[in-house]
Structure 1
Amino acid sequence: MRVLIVEADGASRGNPGAASYGAVVRDGRTGELLAELAEAIGRATNNVAEYRGVIAGLEAARRIDPQARVEVRMDSKLVVEQLSGRWQVKHPSMKPLAQRARELFPPNGVSFAWVPRSQNKHADRLANQALDAASRGEVWRAQVLPAAGEAAHSPRPVSSAAVSSQAASPAASPAASLAPVSRPAVEPRAPAAGSADLGAPTRLLLLRHGPTALTGEKRFSGVGADPELTEQGLAQARAAARRLAGPHGAADPRYGRVDAVITSPLRRARQTALAVAEAAGMEPRVEQGFRELHFGVFEALTFAEARAQYPDELAAFFASTAGAAPGGESVDEVASRAAAARDRALVRFARKTVLIVTHVTPIKTLLCQALGAPLTAVHRMELSAASLSVIDYYDDGVTNVRCVNDTAHLYDTGHLYGTPGG
């Protein structure tokens, strides 16, 4: 029998006050993330919000596999004890919610367990993001994730007025309404001196794609033109493949064998990812959250051209990570979706080594978050084309940045595969 794990949480600012829930569903055998759900529910108590999270998670699990056995994990002792039948449900507002939760799966098909809040961060983050979106007058959209290997879209908030127009307009910016978050979803902290062995980390190898014609001309290149790699770019992608996968799956001993390859949906990243994935004998997964920042009206312009044509807009973009070019998105927005995509990778491939082929901005925001640095630091980093940056993530929240902008693989027996910054 298949086992599904439901993690659920609720939030209420005021208790009662503005409330929301978050829930995720995972495969019990592999840990793969199957669904993310979040919704602001108006004014309610924290207990009601917790119940709504359980119900949403169980409903999603039922849609995925109604015959599965479900294990629900929450940090609410009250809800766990009540749904386990050990405590009575006395409050009138919670009785129908408890009944609904019990109806979704037979009693012998579901169990409820309490976990510490530190083990329920994913659902907690979703609940708070939904609540933050509601405070701005936006509606939070969440959806069941696609099957392995398909494009995965993160839940995202959209303004109420824009819901119908975005659905009708395929040309709308794919991330124009993503909301920024004030903190990374995985909060970095340093290991304590003399701490016990933390176990094997989940290692993310962040590889920037090889150069395109726009890269060489130092033009803004986000999601607009979607250029392909140049011959130099293809050569650099092959060089990265030799280093990270090599003949018969050999790998750089400093970083270990690549267990999975994830790529941005943009062509230049997919071409780079395919070189490594083919060398490693695997298929790359496409993840929308790792696409480059949408530069709006700056797309395909040099810095000098953008400053001449849009001086005020360019100044605003660099003055704040919340600033966006007209028609584009901000660094904050990229940080939000890249963090959500990272979290999915950490869950799917726990304690494995994952190659993520992406772009300058997503890599820089992930490095800032891992270091606990402000996002303004993205403008103080150099990331060459086809460069490698590596971050280790431990189960207890410790992060360790192993390297930044490593281009050693571009030198093969003394031959340089194009200039690293080209």
Structure 2
Amino acid sequence: SLQAANLCSSYAPQACRPSLLRLARISRTPATAVCPFLRAVTGPERPSRPPRAAGARKLPVLYNSRVSALRLCQCRIVTAHASMLRSTSALLLTRLATTTIRAMAAIDSSGCAGECYADGTYQRGSRLRLGLVRHGESMNNVHEAQGTYKTGRVADPELSPRGRRQAEVLGAFLGNTSKAEYFGLGKIDEIWVSPHRRTLDTAAPAAKATGLAPRVYTDIFEAGGIYDANDAYDAFVARGGMTRAEMQAAHPTYVLPDAVDATGWYRGPGKESDDECRARAKRVLERVRATASGLKDSRNVLVVAHYDFISAFLDAVLVPGTTGEFARWRHHNTAVTVVDIEQATGEVAFMKVNAAPHIYEADEGLLSGFPL
């Protein structure tokens, strides 16, 4: 289901109509059921004017068939009604979730169908904003790129030299409030981090730049967990991961849960399966929604995690019935995906997907994570 963001709920620009109608056709759903905004643009009549709140500031309505470069209308995916769509449209939903639909509408006296008002239109309730970060390039990533993953991998790899530099430029970017606003993370309130060595090290520059003490969460680890494998990669032995003493020595400011002890933190019997990871990601989503529901004020959280886990989390939001491998999403090393969880409803809205402006800004050949 599409819902307009930053636009009066009674209006929709003509330029959005083709995308909305296409979604309706593919999902075999009545157009007005896919998006109530189509009611305002599919008929010849003009939309009725909403009641005006006392003292509300007038804003021009973006309702004009003459598209020009003056005003931006954004539509975003809201997942509360995603179940109404047939599975054939799931891929379209996923693609639309990664893309902001932009329509430029002329703002002049002849192009306005009415007025919308700032009060109640642009103000939203509290929300929990998550900046989901994939860790910097690890030595296992290097082996994978070189075709030596099965023989060269280790259970809990360190960052490569390039991965450490990626973490540094991310930390510097997030430490600059004006730059961090690109992600909507101008003020980061918390940092959550996976207990893998590569994520702990990736979070360190951001923690230093923001002055925050990262909290380690043992339920956001990478799919598979911590394990050793034979050369054929068909037999696996679980390992505990970094111990409490090792984490405290490497990162003394980090806040560790009791689950990290003298034996490590990973408790799996072997290599976690992809579907077991997906089930865990759904539990994390419910935990995050519960956290959001208790908020009085909006908060921004940086979550330093992993390719497959972030993919599983996003699938849990958009297409929760997905099974098997994590093939729907792409994440560069230290790229950021930003989602909002609404306090009142638990709905999840996408802001950014796989955004890496810090990598391009550095211009040091730091882009890595998957073949382009």
TM-score by length of 1: 0.44
More RCO (CA 8 Å, sep 6+):
2
TM-score by length of 2: 0.50
